[in-house]
Amino acid sequence: MKQAVIKTPLGFTKIVGDESGISSITVLEERLKEDEIIPSELEEAVRQLKEYFAGDRNNFTFTLNPEGTDFQKKVWKELLEIPFGKTTSYLELSKKIGDVKAIRAVAAANGKNPLWIIVPCHRVIGSDGSLTGYAGGLWRKKWLLEHESPSPQQKLF
């Protein structure tokens, strides 16, 4: 596996993958140095992430290869269906995977998402419209939702 660290408006981000695709994108809490040389297997992911943060991209086209259980992958696949600039609730997500009683399992799978931003777990909010737990911190979730908002002059939260 190859890896690269880039600087984003939300902190340093580590990208891990190989010729089979990107397996992990995580935001780091510690301050690091941005890698000057990006492995060729990761160049497209780095380019697209930088475009996203610059406001020039709202979807990603590089190959994903995350590790997880079948259930987690089912939830992550459903997360990919949430349109840019839109949100859904854990309850709605549970309904879409076919089991409204699986809301806690859906929330747990959402929290285990290894592909920060790309698989948009930040687009899942509480049924009452509130911001709910986010592994990267609620301030990052708020930033991402406002970044993706179709009306950037207004604050969502």
User: Does residue 77 lie in a domain region?
Assistant: yes
Same-domain status, 85 and 139: yes
Same-domain status, 81 and 120: yes
The separation between the first and the last C-alpha atoms of the chain, rounded to the nearest angstrom, is 38
Same-domain status, 108 and 49: no
Same-domain status, 42 and 78: no
Write the DSSP assignment of 19-33 as a string of letters. TTEEEEEEE-SS---
| Contact yes or no for 125/89 (Cβ under 8 A) | yes
Same-domain status, 128 and 99: yes
Same-domain status, 39 and 80: no
Report the relative pairing of strands 88-89 and 124-125 from DSSP bridges: parallel
pLDDT by position in tens, the chain (length 157)? 999 999 999 999 999 999 999 999 999 988 788 999 999 999 999 999 999 999 999 999 999 999 999 999 999 999 999 999 999 999 999 999 998 898 999 999 999 999 999 999 999 998 888 888 788 889 999 999 999 997 655 555 5
Same-domain status, 48 and 91: no
Same-domain status, 78 and 48: no
Number of domains in the chain: 2
User: Does residue 65 lie in a domain region?
Assistant: no
Residue span of the structural domain in which 106 resides: 70-148
User: Does residue 61 lie in a domain region?
Assistant: no
Same-domain status, 44 and 85: no
Which residue in 121, 125, 144, 145 is the catalytic one?
A: 121
Same-domain status, 93 and 142: yes
Same-domain status, 139 and 77: yes
pLDDT at 29: 85
133 part of the active site = no
Spatial separation of the C-alpha atoms in residues 105 and 98, rounded to whole Å: 12
